[in-house]
Every structure is written in structure tokens, then in C-alpha cells.
């Protein structure tokens, strides 16, 4: 069953959504739980859009409302995290043809809070720009956020080109976003797939940790 917050988000009840978020944050509730309820609302808005109960206008309004809710939630996320040294570099992008960025922005925030250096190329990014930036920044991770099926081929194109340029093995590639599945990961040639930003952060932390252990054992 949906929570009141989820239902109000689906109904696009802006005032109720924002006042409940503020109230629950003030009461000290876990910001990630509040975020999950908002995210569930967005998934259900997507269902309504698919079923033609909602149109583009509702999709846009829900996006704006989610963003406003996240603006309230984000400052509280930091309180639950530990500050530390830079753990690694990650390059993020939503590839050409796709302008969805709400999930990518959340991932970027969570990664920064964990001490990663985040380079966010934004949305609708040309595949060649991603390759140029990989060469320039030399990140440990490349993360694609994907909400449209039309992005699968351009993401695959980037990974194929990285392979040809001999750059693929130097980085771990993640793909996430509501429409992605393990099959998408295999199709494009990524290393990891999720529809949960926290799992993505966890993956990066584990990979960085195992790299540090290998270096230590190797005496580097
Ligand atoms: C909001 C929304 C919009 C907003 C986007 C606003 C914005 N600034 O992002 C607007 C109105 C602009 C929009 C436009 C369109 N949309 Co839209 N949209 C949505 C909706 C309702 C919610 C998406 C969202 O933000 N969810 C909340 C976030 C937090 O979830 P998330 O992105 O999945 O992210 C989480 C995880 O997946 C993860 N994550 C995300 N990225 C990454 C990356 C990595 C590396 C990792 C580790 C994790 C990770 O972290 C997040 C937190 O856990 C979805 C429905 C859905 N079920 O997803 C449709 C949906 C994605 N849209 C859809 C469509 C069709 C469109 C349009 C084509 C509609 C049109 N006719 O114009 C356009 C496309 C425009 C374009 N060229 O991109 C379809 C896509 C169908 C498909 N199979 O391709 C969906 C699925 C709706 C549907 N059911 O039909 N949309």
C-alpha cells in the first residue's frame, strides 16, 4: 500500500508533499526513507503515463515536484554520512536523446557524500564527448543514467569505442535508471546495473576497497 506522501506525490498535491517532507525531516526521520516514498510516487506516475491516465504535463509537474522535495531532503542526507578523503573519480552522463536527470543527480549527491569526486556531464550527452572526457579525467568509474530505451545503442557505442581505444579495462562501468535491467547491462557491456542509487554507491565503494587491498598486498 502506498504511503500518504507517495499518494500525494502521484496526485501532484504540491503543498501537502512539501509540508509533509519538511515536517518529517524536522522530526528527525531518516531522509532516505522519505526519498524512497517520493521515488515510489514517481514510478507510479510513470505507470499512469504509460496507461494514458496522465499526459506529458503531469509527467513534467511530477518531475518539478520531486526536484523540490529533493532540495529539502538533500541537505539532511549529509548528516548521516562520514566525511573523508577522496575515494575515487566517477564520470556521470545521461546519453544523447535522454534528458531525464533526477536519478542521476541523486546518485551524484550520494557519491559526493561518500567522498567520491564526481564529474557530471549532464544530459543528452554526445557519445564522443564521453570518450573525450574519459581520456581527459581518467576516472575510476563511468556511470550512465538511462530512462529511455533509445539510449541503449549510444551507451553500447561508447563502451565499444572505449574497448577499441584500449581504455575499457581501466574503469568500471555502471548503468542505472528505472528502465534498466541486467539484460541491458549485458547488451551494452557494462559491469554493473541497478535501479537503486545506494547499490551503485556500494558497488563503487567495494571496488575501490578491493583495489586498495590489492595495491597494499603488491606493495605499491
Ligand atoms: C519525471 C519523468 C520525466 C520528466 C523528467 C524530468 C527530469 N528532469 O528528469 C520529463 C517530463 C522531462 C520526462 C520526459 C519524457 N519522458 Co519521462 N518519465 C519520468 C518518470 C515519471 C520518472 C523518472 C524519474 O525521475 N524517477 C525518479 C528517479 C529518482 O528514479 P530513477 O531515474 O530510476 O533513478 C533512481 C535509480 O534508477 C538510480 N539511478 C538512476 N540513474 C543511475 C545511474 C547509475 C550509474 C546508478 C548506479 C544508479 C542510477 O538512482 C535513482 C535513485 O535510486 C518516468 C517513469 C519511471 N517509471 O521511471 C518517465 C519515463 C522514464 N518517461 C518516459 C517517456 C516516454 C518520456 C518522453 C519520451 C515523453 C514524451 N512523449 O515526450 C519524454 C522524453 C524526453 C527525453 N528526450 O528525455 C518513459 C520511458 C519509456 C521507455 N521505455 O523509453 C517512462 C518510463 C514513463 C512510461 N512508463 O512510459 N519524463
Q: Which three cell numbers stand for residue 109?
A: 549527491
Higher-pLDDT residue of 81, 198: 198
Which one, of 211, 180, 212, 209, lies nearest residue 197 by Cα?
Answer: 180
Q: Is the pTM of this model over 0.75?
A: yes
CB 201 near ligand 1, within 6 Å = no
Q: Which three cell numbers stand for residue 59?
A: 509527467
Determine which residue's CA is closest to atom 32 belonging to ligand 1: 103
> Residue 83: pLDDT above 50?
no
- The distance from CA 134 to its chain's CA centroid, rounded to whole angstroms, is 18
Which residue out of 41, 59, 106 has the highest number of ligand 1 atoms within 8 Å of its CB and is therefore the one to mutate?
Answer: 59
Using one digit for the tens of pLDDT, what is the confidence trace for 104-128?
998 998 888 788 999 999 999 999 9
Report the distance separating Cα 91 and Cα 2, nearest Å: 35
> Residue 184: pLDDT above 90?
yes
Report the distance separating Cα 188 and Cα 176, nearest Å: 12
Report the distance separating Cα 218 and Cα 115, nearest Å: 25
- pLDDT number for residue 50: 87
Confidence of residue 214 (pLDDT cuts 50, 70, 90): low
Using one digit for the tens of pLDDT, what is the confidence trace for 125-152?
999 999 999 999 999 999 999 999 999 9
Determine which residue's CA is closest to atom 34 belonging to ligand 1: 103
Average pLDDT, the chain: 91
Assess contact for 170 and 201: CB atoms under 8 A. no
Confidence of residue 160 (pLDDT cuts 50, 70, 90): very high
3-state secondary structure 79-124: HHCCCCCCCEEEEEEEECCCCCCHHHHHHHHHHHHCCEEEEECCCC
**What is the arithmetic mean of pLDDT over 50-59?**
91
- pLDDT number for residue 220: 43
What distance in angstroms lies between residue 192's CA and the mean position of ligand 1's atoms? 19
Report the distance separating Cα 145 and Cα 107, nearest Å: 9
Amino acid at each position: 500500500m502506498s504511503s500518504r506522501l507517495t499518494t500525494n506525490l502521484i496526485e501532484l498535491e504540491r503543498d501537502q508533499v512539501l509540508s509533509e517532507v519538511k515536517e518529517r525531516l524536522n522530526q528527525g526521520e531518516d531522509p532516505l526513507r522519505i526519498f524512497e516514498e517520493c521515488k515510489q510516487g514517481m514510478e507510479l506516475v510513470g505507470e499512469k503515463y504509460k496507461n494514458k491516465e496522465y499526459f506529458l504535463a503531469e509527467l513534467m509537474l511530477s518531475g518539478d515536484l520531486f526536484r523540490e522535495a529533493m532540495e529539502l531532503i538533500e541537505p539532511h542526507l549529509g548528516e548521516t554520512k562520514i566525511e573523508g578523503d577522496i575515494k575515487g573519480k566517477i564520470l556521470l552522463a545521461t546519453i544523447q536523446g535522454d534528458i531525464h536527470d533526477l536519478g542521476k543527480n541523486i546518485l551524484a549527491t550520494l557519491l559526493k557524500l561518500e567522498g567520491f569526486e564526481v564529474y557530471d556531464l549532464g544530459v543528452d550527452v554526445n557519445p564522443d564527448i564521453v570518450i573525450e572526457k574519459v581520456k581527459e579525467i581518467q576516472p575510476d568509474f563511468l556511470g550512465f543514467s538511462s530512462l529511455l530505451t533509445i539510449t541503449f545503442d549510444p551507451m553500447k557505442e561508447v563502451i565499444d569505442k572505449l574497448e577499441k581505444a584500449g581504455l575499457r579495462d581501466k574503469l568500471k562501468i555502471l548503468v542505472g535508471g528505472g528502465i534498466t535491467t541486467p539484460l541491458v547491462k549485458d547488451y551494452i557491456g557494462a559491469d554493473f546495473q541497478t535501479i537503486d542509487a545506494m547499490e551503485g554507491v556500494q558497488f563503487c565503494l567495494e571496488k575501490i576497497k578491493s583495489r586498495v587491498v590489492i595495491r597494499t598486498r603488491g606493495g605499491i
